[in-house]
Structure 1
Amino acid sequence: MSRAFVKEDGPDNAPLPDLPISPHPNFVTPSGLAALRARLAEAQARLMALRGRQERLDKLPEAAAERDIRYLEARLKSAILVDPAAQPRNEVAFGATVTLAESDGSERHFRIVGEDEADGARGWITPQAPLARTLIGAGVGDVIAWKRPGGVTELEILAIAYGPGPEVA
């Protein structure tokens, strides 16, 4: 193929815009820090594999991998590791797994984790989440009022645990 038909410079070869970085402090649990490092290693391996392709006319996958690497490097650089052992045992703080009783008697578990670790399906919420903001500073036996779109729900804190703990959901 003639070089005349190869588009080497254009909008599809420009770097992708960076992913937005949160303005909040980047608190991370030990498992969250390990996960960020693993994601960075995976993104770097993906980029190396993409650069080793025979056909490299489509640069978009490489640009996406480079963008992801920039994001992950920035998150690692700004990470503030929180040691669960240093957290207060008698109140909810970052890294806590909280067992709550709802008004109907059912129990729910939530874990307060860093933004890159949050997963609503697992019950892992960020410190900026409305529920986390309501829980932080509360202790076992406290009843909190959680303002939800459907109205206010009262929840009683049954237990607070730190560390990896059981899977919550």
Structure 2
Amino acid sequence: MSRAFVNEDNAAAQADQPVERQVSTQPNYVTPQGLAQLQAKVAELQSQINDQSTKGELADKQRQADLERDWRYFNHRLQSAQVVSLSASADKARIGTWVTFANEHDQQQRVQLVGEDQADATQGLINWGSPLGQALLGTSIGDEVLWSRPAGDCLIEVLDLQNSLPV
């Protein structure tokens, strides 16, 4: 087909459309806090979309498209969320459990196993599906497990499990 028959406005608009965000194939397990964060994110994005819509022709079309893409992603994550309830005792590490472990050099670290949307390594919130999350999931105090890392495997020992927020 000749370029003369292509609607250039539609072609340009399609080229500017943001690529959809990839949705993970792992189950969307979330803590109650993770669910609240997803709900807040969807509400925040909806508010920003509404703000752009009120601008009419003056709206930033690319910004609006990006916001709508993100809203679709987080709304899908919210709809597929499976809230994990915490038990009073922490006999095994599961989603929501705070795990204290030590490596081969007795360096201790404390992390909480959470869903992927809640994960933030700087806050000690580790995705349960990550290599560290998978190594810790299902462990008990005293268990030694191998954490497969890009920097090399590391033997870690589980020192403590808690189902409460850190102090």
Q: Which sections of structure 2, spanning at least 5 residues, go unmatched?
A: 1-7
Q: What displacement does 1:10 show?
A: 5.0
Gaps of 5+ in 1: 1-6
Partner of 1:149, secondary structure, is coil
Give the count of matched residue pairs. Answer: 159
| Residue-by-residue CA offset, 1:3-38 (whole Å, 9 max, x unaligned) | xxxx97553376533211111110010000000000
CA-CA distance at 1:102 after TM superposition: 2.1
Alpha-carbon distance in structure 2 between the residues aligned to 1:143 and 1:68: 40
Alignment match, 2:115 = 114
- Aligned counterpart, 2:106: 105
Normalising by structure 1, what TM-score? 0.83
CA distance in 2, matches of 1:113, 1:83: 12
Give the aligned partner of residue 48 of structure 1.
50
- State the alpha-carbon separation in 2 of the partners of residues 90 and 132 from structure 1: 16
CA distance in 1, matches of 2:59, 2:76: 29
Given that 2:28 and 2:80 are in contact with CA atoms closer than 8 Å, whether structure 1 keeps it comes out as: yes
**8 Å contact from structure 2 (residues 52, 59) kept in 1:** no
Q: Which runs of 4+ in 1 moved over 6 A?
A: none
Shift of residue 148, structure 1, vs aligned partner:
2.3
Of 64, 67, 90 in structure 2, the residue corresponding to residue 65 of structure 1 is 67
Compute the displacement of 1:85 (Å). Answer: 2.3
Amino acid of the residue matched to residue 26 of structure 2? H
So what's the TM-score if we normalise by structure 2?
0.84
Alignment match, 2:145: 144
Match of 1:23 among 13, 22, 25: 25
Deviation at 1:105, TM superposition (A): 2.1
1:35-85 Cα distance to aligned partner (Å, 9 max, x none): 000000100110111112265263111111111111111111111010112
Partner of 1:166: 166
CA deviation after TM superposition for structure 1 residue 127, in Å? 1.7
SS of the counterpart of 2:63? helix
| C-alpha RMSD over aligned residues | 2.2
Could you give the per-residue CA deviations for residues 90-121 of structure 1, whole angstroms, max 9, x where no partner exists?
A: 11111111001222222101111111111122
